[in-house]
Amino acid sequence: MKILMLLSENLLRNNILGYKNNAMKKIVFVGSGAIATAIGNVLARKGMYDVTLLSIEEEVVESINNQRLNITYFPNVKLSRTLKASSDINILSDADVIFMAIPSTAVVDYLFEHKKYLNPRAIIVNLAKGFGKDDKLIPDCVSHFLVNPILTMKGPSFAREIINRQETGFTLASFTNDYFNEVADLFENTNIYFDYSNDMNGVEYASILKNIYAIIIGMLDANYDSANMRSLIITKAINEMRSLLINFGGKDITMFNYCGFGDFSLTALNDMSRNRTLGLLIGKGFFNSGISEKVVLEGRIAVDVFYQKVLDSHIDINAYPLMSELYHVFNDNDYPTKKFVKNILNKIK
């Protein structure tokens, strides 16, 4: 039986139907964190691709290759036998698809510093949620020095559920439609579902904005057990997100994609969300100016960036009472967090 299983797996690994030049597609995930491991495992389970996680963490590389475990992120989940890990940067040179799954603040520098290793024909898919350089989006930054096609893949996606084979939706975005099928076909017959958008900037902005408003919903829920009030604030939050997205070049329809309302609802309403958890902690009073300086979660960074972008664009900051009030939580000395909800209710009355 064991021999038959190994033969079956080898046949899957060497399945070349439908691929160019009779060769397995080579897929590289830059990063070996939770989302890289989860999505990489989805593709590896198909047995049709050469899937590798490129990691700087030697212990993770060894545990994946020798134990079929990511000992840091999924120590109790057996990974596909066909999922590999490596610390060899040279594997980028013959990759067909490269998924960027490292923190957003590291993506631009990583690609710039390693561009000589990249296969110029490889499709690059950005999984990172956040700004690239300062207030610049990752696709805008990297398009200045890369010739590769760039796509972005965003949606309501807890890695734990992906790796446990729960159905998960992503928005796949690109400035053109040229590479949608090539990426989406990789995930055919898996638990990953797609919708599509040419609003690249809007999709990127939506994935950043939801973190701001998840903190706000967390602060609300820390102090009030009210379905009515939660619905009121969620509605205002969606309207603010939509307005900000449009003002900075996105399209309002993007809010109705997986990356928009889908990702916001997941992040704002589930306790596995780090930004919602931050809001809960702030709302319960476990926060002060000293802690504020050490908090580097996405929402904490995003609120400062968007607040400044609004001011720089000469847009009335009062049009965004939720975001502006959260800015004061993080930046005013001794902000009375228990009054946060009352303050925003007074502003939106």
Mean pLDDT of each 10-residue bin along the chain, 349 residues long: 46 42 84 98 98 98 98 98 98 98 96 97 97 94 96 98 98 97 98 98 97 97 96 98 97 97 97 93 79 64 95 97 96 90 94
**What does the block give as tokens for 176?**
């053109």
Choose one of 149, 179, 198: the last residue of a domain.
198
Instruction: Tell whether 41 and 188 lie within a shared domain.
Output: yes
CA-to-CA dists, residue 24 to 15, 16, 95, angstroms? 7, 6, 10
Q: Can you give the CATH number for the domain in which 228 is found?
A: 1.10.1040.10
Instruction: Tell whether 161 and 26 lie within a shared domain.
Output: yes
pLDDT score for 290: 56
Instruction: Tell whether 85 and 233 lie within a shared domain.
Output: no
Sign of the CA dihedral 151, 155, 160, 161?
negative
**What does the block give as tokens for 328?**
């004061």
Instruction: Tell whether 131 and 217 lie within a shared domain.
Output: no
- Residue 338, domain extent: 202-348
Q: What gap in Å lies between CA 310 and CA 188, rounded to an integer? A: 41
pLDDT score for 289: 55
pLDDT score for 3: 47
The residue with tokens 């400035």 is 175
User: Residue 274: which residues within 8 A CB-CB, separation 6 or more?
Assistant: 297, 298
Q: What is the number of structural domains in the chain? A: 2
Single pTM value for the model = 0.90
Choose one of 198, 217, 234: the last residue of a domain.
198
